[in-house]
Amino acid sequence: MSDHELRVSKIRNGTVIDHITGGQALNVLAILGIEADGGDTLSVAMNVPSDRLGTKDIVKVEDRELSQDEVDVLSLIAPAASINIVRDFDVIEKHRVSRPETVSGVLECPNHNCITTEEEPVDSAFDVLEDGVRCQYCETIIREDLAEHILVD
Amino acid sequence: MIYNNPYQSVSGDSRASGVAYYPMRHDHIISAKQLSRADIEEVLDRAAEIATDPTAVANRHEDALLGLLFFEPSTRTKMSFTASIKRMGGDIVDMGSVESSSVKKGESLADTVRVVEGYADALVLRHPSEGSAKMASEFVDVPLINAGDGAGQHPTQTLLDLYTIRENAGFDDLTVGIMGDLKYGRTVHSLAHALTNFDASQHFISPESLQLPRSVRYDLHESGASIREHTELDSVLPELDVLYVTRIQRERFPDDSEYRKVAGEYQIDSTTLETADDDLTVMHPLPRVDEISHDLDETDYATYFEQAHNGVPVRMALLDLVLEGDR
């Protein structure tokens, strides 16, 4: 076991998200709706050397599993991420994220004149493009700083 | 009392009781992007038939009610939809102005269209928000026609624009210049999409601050369309078969002097058009302010009033298809 891996302790139950694009860990926490004063037990490692990615971030969250919507958005900002479900210290499930065709209800359209930003009973919905996402309603394309558009409750 | 709407009847054989049965052949009309060349030509062909002999369809939709929901002012679109359904024997139910409707009490668009679909056989919606027509269409079963959603799309304007282009310039080896507010102009976005179905080169002429939005540019690129962008009309004018002029709005600029300076560069008059082809077709979705000088109105170039008049046969044709049964 290398020094790098020792920096983050094991968890009993929860999720380990590994191979997050270096520097994106805080955005991953935003996707998961985790805030500093929320009471969640978590470990975050940032800019850890990685053979595959150069540098990577790791997030470990106790007593939390990810919904498909969360995984979908995660895949957009951390396409190489792997998700490990941990029960009683054992990894019982491990899978890579895959890019979805659409993401719904997790990103806010940056166009303030888009109907999805108004008081209407409709979730935001984006088609996933090769290099960004596109609002299904107003067609606005977001290519940069996707994480800035994550909907916060 | 249950209102028995023959247009919405889908169970039983309404024809047996002597009531016309009209299955909805087309669904909602939300964006020019959804229209194929075959769809467009079907509407234009039918519009041409109707223009030749409007009496042939005079009673075709005599029981039809068209619900008008205009959340923004409109003259041409609203009046031509009204004229269109009335010329086919139908009528309108009109929400009226926002100020006099439940919208003023805070009713959502989704609720409004769900209520009004019970009163009408098809809905026509104009709304200031982009994506409003798509969202509204998800809440109704009757066909919904987008009559302009913010800076998004205006597909029925595009159909009458294409009709006008076909009548005046044809679709073969066509070169179109689209000038003015390309960023916020919904008629521009719809027309640019629709023209990708045809053998058309598109030139976009605008100030840098009002160039095509990223989303439209993306679609044109994906479709492989031939497009070029310019900041001045002069260089491209002699090549054009059609010049489509749009209004540059004062509110798009931080101050009045900047607006006047920019808008002044995109106004045309008979002097501007000295290098144009004699057969140039000048179009404008109207209303114009001063981007086309009145001295052009009596020239052969001026096609914008004919274009506006074409709104009736084209919208009659579209409504006929949307409401059409097995005639």
B37 belongs to the catalytic site:
no
Q: What is the ipTM of this complex?
A: 0.88
Asked if A119 reaches chain B (Cβ–Cβ under 8 Å), the answer is: yes
Which DSSP string corresponds to B141-182? SS-EEEEEETTS--HHHHHHHHHHHHHHT-STTEEEEEES-T
Which DSSP string corresponds to B219-262? HHHHHT-EEEEES-STTTGGG-SEEEE-PPPGGGSSSHHHHHHH
Give the C-alpha distances (Å, rounded to integers) separating A65 from A14, A45, A85, B75, B252: 6, 19, 7, 55, 47
Domains of chain A (ranges plus CATH)? Answer: 3-96 (3.30.70.140), 102-149 (2.30.30.20)
State residue B210's pLDDT score: 93
- Low-confidence spans in chain B with pLDDT less than 70: 1-26, 325-327
Asked if A115 reaches chain B (Cβ–Cβ under 8 Å), the answer is: yes
DSSP B292: B
d(CA B168, CA B155): 20
Cβ of B218 within 8 Å of Cβ of A113? The answer is no
Question: Tokens standing for B95?
Answer: 């929400």
Q: What are phi and psi of B211, to 5 degrees?
A: -75, 170
State residue B311's pLDDT score: 97
> Sign of the CA dihedral B132, B317, B282, B38?
positive
Q: How far is A125 from chain B (nearest CA, A)?
A: 11
- Those residues whose C-beta lies under 8 Å from the C-beta of residue B319, and which sit 6 or more positions away, are B61, B64, B66, B81, B84, B85, B88, B122
Residue with tokens 């002429």: B205
Pairing of the two strands B200-205 and B174-179? parallel
Substitution target in A115, A128, A130, A131 with the highest count of B β-carbons within 10 Å is: A115
d(CA B323, CA B8): 10
State residue A2's pLDDT score: 52
- Those residues whose C-beta lies under 8 Å from the C-beta of residue B305, and which sit 6 or more positions away, are B297
Cβ–Cβ < 8 Å for A70, A106: yes
Asked if A131 reaches chain B (Cβ–Cβ under 8 Å), the answer is: no
Catalytic site residue from B46, B78, B87, B154: B154
Substitution target in A116, A139, A140 with the highest count of B β-carbons within 10 Å is: A139
State residue B49's pLDDT score: 97
Query: B21-153+312-319 with B155-309: one CATH topology?
Result: yes
Question: Tokens standing for B191?
Answer: 């027309």
Q: Which residues of B touch A (CB under 8 A)?
A: 108-110, 127-132, 134-135, 138, 149-152, 214-215, 218
Q: Where are the domains of chain B?
A: 21-153+312-319, 155-309
Cβ of B152 within 8 Å of Cβ of A136? The answer is no
Cβ of B151 within 8 Å of Cβ of A113? The answer is yes
- Those residues whose C-beta lies under 8 Å from the C-beta of residue A24, and which sit 6 or more positions away, are A57, A77, A78, A147
State residue B26's pLDDT score: 52
Cβ–Cβ < 8 Å for B48, B42: no
HSE-up of B297 (CA within 13 Å, CB side)? 8
B154 belongs to the catalytic site:
yes
Q: Which of left, alpha, beta for A135 (phi over 0: left; psi -120 to 50: alpha)?
A: beta
d(CA A121, CA A147): 24
From the list A119, A138, A141, the residue facing B131 with the nearest CB is: A138
User: Before B23, cis peptide (omega within 30)?
Assistant: no
d(CA B248, CA B260): 10
Question: Tokens standing for B313?
Answer: 């046969």
- Those residues whose C-beta lies under 8 Å from the C-beta of residue B145, and which sit 6 or more positions away, are B28, B29, B122, B123, B124, B125, B133, B155, B156, B318, B322
- Band of pLDDT at residue A152, cut at 50, 70 and 90: low
d(CA B74, CA B315): 15
- Band of pLDDT at residue A153, cut at 50, 70 and 90: low
Cβ of B135 within 8 Å of Cβ of A135? The answer is no
From the list B110, B150, B214, the residue facing A121 with the nearest CB is: B110
Cβ of A115 within 8 Å of Cβ of B132? The answer is yes
Cβ of A120 within 8 Å of Cβ of B110? The answer is yes
Res. A3: pLDDT tops 70: no
Interface of A with B in 72-111 (CB under 8 A): 111
Cβ of B131 within 8 Å of Cβ of A137? The answer is yes
Asked if A139 reaches chain B (Cβ–Cβ under 8 Å), the answer is: yes
Q: Which CATH class is domain B155-309?
A: alpha beta
More confident residue, A135 or A152: A135
Longest dimension (CA), chain A: 52
Residues of chain B with Cβ-Cβ distance to A119 below 8 Å are 108
From the list A116, A118, A140, the residue facing B215 with the nearest CB is: A140
Cβ of B109 within 8 Å of Cβ of A115? The answer is yes
Catalytic site residue from B52, B55, B105, B271: B105
State residue B105's pLDDT score: 78
Residues B161-205: tens digit of each pLDDT: 999 999 999 999 999 999 999 999 999 999 999 999 999 999 999
B126 belongs to the catalytic site:
yes
Res. A71: pLDDT tops 70: yes
- Those residues whose C-beta lies under 8 Å from the C-beta of residue B170, and which sit 6 or more positions away, are none
The residue type of A111 is N
Question: Tokens standing for B66?
Answer: 């068209």
The CATH number of domain B21-153+312-319 is 3.40.50.1370: yes
State residue B327's pLDDT score: 38
State residue A142's pLDDT score: 95
The residue in chain A having the minimum alpha-carbon distance to the alpha carbon of residue B110 is A120
d(CA B185, CA B178): 11
Cβ of A111 within 8 Å of Cβ of B215? The answer is no
